[in-house]
Amino acid sequence: MTAIRLVSAALLLSAAPAAAAPIVVTFENPTVPVPIPAPDPFNPAGTRPFENGANLVPGGSFTSNGVTFNNLYDPGFDINSGWSYSRVTDVTTAGFLNQYAAYNLPGGGAGDGSANYGIAFSFSPGDAVIDLPAGFRPDSVRLTNTTFAALSILNGDQFARAFGPGDFFLLTISGTDAAGGATGSVDFFLADFRDGRSTVVSGWTTVDLSGLGADTARLALGFTSSDVGRFGINTPTYVAVDNLVLVPVGGAVGAAVPEPLSLALAAAAAAGWRRVRRAGVRSSSG
């Protein structure tokens, strides 16, 4: 009887579909084939896509691990918005010319094991979006401030004031389904000076996205700040992003194809079943 149970368990295991692996977007394999150069001086319009060491993919988009990141170019303001990817490590230079650097101070947060990371900039609401591949949902992401935003918050600049009591800088990641319906949102304070706090995110931090609906097909990044002027938010509306983790919806994705180990177990189970049957026949005939 024990042999029969073991054989049955092996048969069930062999029939189980292989689960699709999670997707981890590290920005190490973007579709744009030109490598990112070392940081260089600001390039005027027309000589992009490179600016301060970041690939801006002007007027288009790029993909990494099957995930699409948009990029927009506004010739009227001569500015790119949406997504770029970078590997700049400058955490000390303030101002716009260092807009594509992740603010990851020593001890601020564990490194992500990859040189590249993404930079989202939202010039207008809805500028920075992420389109997810079918069959996957967001699970988590690693975030930190950019050096441009963090030093502006801490020290102020020609456009923004230094933060004081009551100030905040908030990132909201909103999900929508394929039809544009809301699937939830996640808030993350990149800086929080409310209720006696004086927090400015200074290292890669994991943010849970698993609360967004399983049918989430697009993520949109938006910013809110307590420092608002005549033309909108004064705080630089940037965030650095890495290691976006997507997991399969409902377990296995695609056809149920047995793994090689499952095939071997199935063969062994069939052989065991034949032995059990033969043993039962000999016992009954004796």
- The domain locations on the chain are 2-14+258-285, 19-248
C-alpha to C-alpha distance for 138 and 23, rounded to whole angstroms? 9
Query: Whole-model pTM?
Result: 0.76
C-alpha to C-alpha distance for 29 and 266, rounded to whole angstroms? 38
**Helix, strand counts (H, E) of the chain:** 3, 17
Sign, CA dihedral 208-212-214-217, equals negative
Instruction: Write out the chain's pLDDT in tens, 286 residues.
Output: 455 454 454 444 445 555 679 999 998 877 754 444 444 443 333 334 444 445 555 556 788 889 999 887 666 776 778 888 888 888 999 998 888 889 999 765 545 566 888 999 987 778 899 999 999 999 999 999 999 999 999 999 999 999 999 999 999 999 999 999 999 999 999 999 999 999 999 999 999 999 999 999 999 999 999 999 998 999 999 999 999 999 999 853 333 333 333 434 444 444 544 453 444 444 444 4
DSSP state of 114: -
Residue 142, phi then psi, degrees to nearest 5: -105, 130
Q: Considering the domain 19-248 in this protein, what is its CATH number?
A: 2.60.120.1350
